[in-house]
Structure 1
Amino acid sequence: MSSHAFYPIGTPGQPWGEAELAAWRAQRVKLRSYADDVLRVIEPLRETFDVVEYGTLDYGAEHYPLLAIRSRDWRDELPVLLVTGGVHGYETSGVFGALQFVQRHGLDYAGRANLLVVPCVSPWAYERINRWNPNALDPNRNFRSNSPAGESAALMDLLEPLREDVLMHIDLHETTDSDESEFRPALAARDGKAFEPGEVPDGFYLVDDADHPQPAFQQAVIEAVAKVTHIADADARGEIIGSPLLLPGVIKFPVKQWSLCAGITNARYATTTEVYPDSPRATPQQCNDAQVAAVRAAIDYVLAQRDV
């Protein structure tokens, strides 16, 4: 696709107004059910975990309760370990991986850590397999004070009392072919800019915090995930999505400066996973398993450091 490719909504070179936003929203069709895929899966977890509703989103006639899963044996002296998924609703393994982790391994850390898992931050986008919320806002660029994105604001309110208590935060994402075919072209059109095509990495990688890098932590996660699925190689420039490699499968972003979810607390250990579900070398279940492997490796590393 050339840099002059035209997105079907808007006028090239002109940012969207209300008419373009309405046209974009009208084309977003509900394709799956948050109630069936997420809320129904969470329900039986109430037997062994505390489930809290930390906010609601009301978009027209649609009402979305926002749920977080907490360790039942929460103790103030234990470290808080945070897992988030579904910040971008179309990144499916982030949602399913977070739920699978709680179902299969959540009780493994009882008495050693306080787990807080938010499996689907953006339910409207989850249902429409989309990146943005209905106002064409990317929640993962809006984790900031007075956020205009309800998804981001609600999660920030939940975590504000815990900002200094969270020791580890792992945010589960995907990089998909639709990033290049739909979402980045839409972003360029929305902002009245030319679309400059990029390259989608084939494989799993991590995004470290540029301001507080933790290379040994990132390496431990990469090594665990490599047993489940393949790790992305650098492109011809030695980069992944425009960023130089810090070590194999790891790049860095200024997460707080960019208002990303991984910067929402002051966690010493923070990372963002990126799975590639469109790879011919990976199945959907492998993608879910990779997310779970990443979460477990992150937690195991952090707890081991505390025990030293």
Structure 2
Amino acid sequence: MLAPSTPSAAPASAFPPASYPIGTPGQPWGPAEVAQWRARQVRQRSYAQDVLAVVDTLRERFDVRSYGEVAYGDDRYALQSIRPRQWAAGRPTVLVTGGVHGYETSGVLGALRFVQEHGERYAERVNWLVAPCVSPWGWERIQRWNHDAIDPNRSFRPGTTVQEPAALLALIAPLQGQFAAHIDLHETTDTDESEYRPAVAARDGKAFVPGTIPDGFYLVDDTENPQPAFQKAVLEAVAKVTHIALPDEKNELIGSPMTEPGVIRYELTAWGLCGSATGARYTTTTEVYPDSARTTPEECIAAQVAAVCAVLDFVLGQQAG
């Protein structure tokens, strides 16, 4: 998920010097540059095949609902949510989101895997709600931004006109005040440094400052509502599956101070991050590094699933206590 315009944490020399091929250095993009950028985006995978087909297999066991549509020209994507049929008042409610950044593969597949393998185990104890792929246009093009070169994960604000966050906010609006927790599933990839941060700098007319990428799994807590015990519980579960990122020589991860092992904090509401959407007491954003030589795509998915289960277990433990 990247802190905006701040250096991160594996050597900057691992990435080539960035010079983005669109725009004039020092000048923010206008409509022509956005159109030029959009023309470079190629559909590389299928939302219908990768996401909707999997969701269809879950309909017999769970309550699957459409919560809107993302439409860009002739491209139309039905947004799907999944929840238990046993939804009941008095149980803790937990939101699980994946694919807010469409290119972050294990977040989408991890959200779906959780439902497939563990959804029934929690169905009579937790009102879990899963939105597995918030940004389907980005999923198909393996792209961080949406069709309009906007980062959906800087757009979760009241009254937003950005389609992806607006649809999710409408989905959860009837449940506001009920959420105990929200886990938002993300990745930090080498392309964050080689493509997306240079693109952000070019789009905004700013200089690109090379940074680094943490090797391993880490979490993002909320500066305004830190919950260290909650973050620790999630990391302890994930550490059984994959390695946790270590800080750099400044005791930072991706340009932010590490507040506890494997944890940094962002101002979720001020930045318009998805993690601020529910106002839940317990929120976390996962970040796994799929390009690490020490992991595999399957391990990254398993780590996301472990994190979701840990969140639900923690919430249930708090309720029992």
2:81 matches 1:68: yes
- Secondary structure of the residue aligned to 1:46 is coil
Which shows bigger deviation, 266-275 or 160-169?
A: 160-169
2:312 matches 1:291: no
Q: How does 1:147-162 map to 2 (within 5 A)?
A: 147-162=160-175
CA distance in 1, matches of 2:227, 2:130: 22
Structure 2 residue aligned with 1:215:
228
2:243 matches 1:248: no
Structure 2 residue aligned with 1:282:
295
Aligned pair partner of 2:111 in 80, 84, 98:
98
**Structure 1 residue 54: deviation in Å?**
0.5
- Secondary structure of the residue aligned to 1:29 is coil
In the TM superposition, what whole-angstrom CA distance separates every residue of 1:254-303 from its partner, at most 9, and x where no partner exists? Answer: 10111100000111100000000000000000000000000111110111
- Secondary structure of the residue aligned to 1:297 is helix
4+ aligned runs moved over 4 Å, structure 1: 1-4
Structure 2 residue aligned with 1:123:
136
Structure 2 residue aligned with 1:89:
102
CA distance in 2, matches of 1:100, 1:110: 15
In the TM superposition, what whole-angstrom CA distance separates every residue of 1:203-251 from its partner, at most 9, and x where no partner exists? Answer: 0000001111110110011111111000000011100011111111001
**Structure 1 residue 140: deviation in Å?**
0.2
Structure 1 residue aligned with 2:212:
199
Conserved? CA contact 1:173–1:274, under 8 Å = yes
2:206 matches 1:182: no
2:157 matches 1:144: yes
- Secondary structure of the residue aligned to 2:182 is strand
Identity of aligned residues (%): 63
**What amino acid sits opposite 1:271 in the alignment?**
T
Conserved? CA contact 1:4–1:195, under 8 Å = no
Conserved? CA contact 1:163–1:264, under 8 Å = no
**What amino acid sits opposite 1:172 in the alignment?**
L
CA distance in 1, matches of 2:141, 2:128: 29
**What amino acid sits opposite 1:253 in the alignment?**
Y
Conserved? CA contact 1:16–1:191, under 8 Å = yes
Gaps of 5+ in 1: none
CA distance in 2, matches of 1:209, 1:72: 31
Structure 1 residue aligned with 2:279:
266
Conserved? CA contact 2:20–2:199, under 8 Å = yes
Conserved? CA contact 2:18–2:194, under 8 Å = no
CA distance in 2, matches of 1:129, 1:31: 7
Bigger relative contact order (CA 8 A; separation at least 6):
2
**Structure 1 residue 4: deviation in Å?**
8.0
Count residues with an aligned counterpart: 308
**Structure 1 residue 96: deviation in Å?**
0.2
CA distance in 2, matches of 1:234, 1:163: 36
Conserved? CA contact 2:83–2:130, under 8 Å = yes
**What amino acid sits opposite 1:241 in the alignment?**
I
Gaps of 5+ in 2: 1-11
**Structure 1 residue 5: deviation in Å?**
3.7
- Secondary structure of the residue aligned to 1:47 is coil
- Secondary structure of the residue aligned to 1:164 is coil
TM-score of the superposition, structure 2-length normalised? Answer: 0.94
- Secondary structure of the residue aligned to 1:295 is helix
**What amino acid sits opposite 1:51 in the alignment?**
V
- Secondary structure of the residue aligned to 1:153 is helix
CA distance in 1, matches of 2:18, 2:303: 34
Aligned pair partner of 1:8 in 21, 29, 34:
21
Conserved? CA contact 2:94–2:179, under 8 Å = yes
Structure 2 residue aligned with 1:44:
57
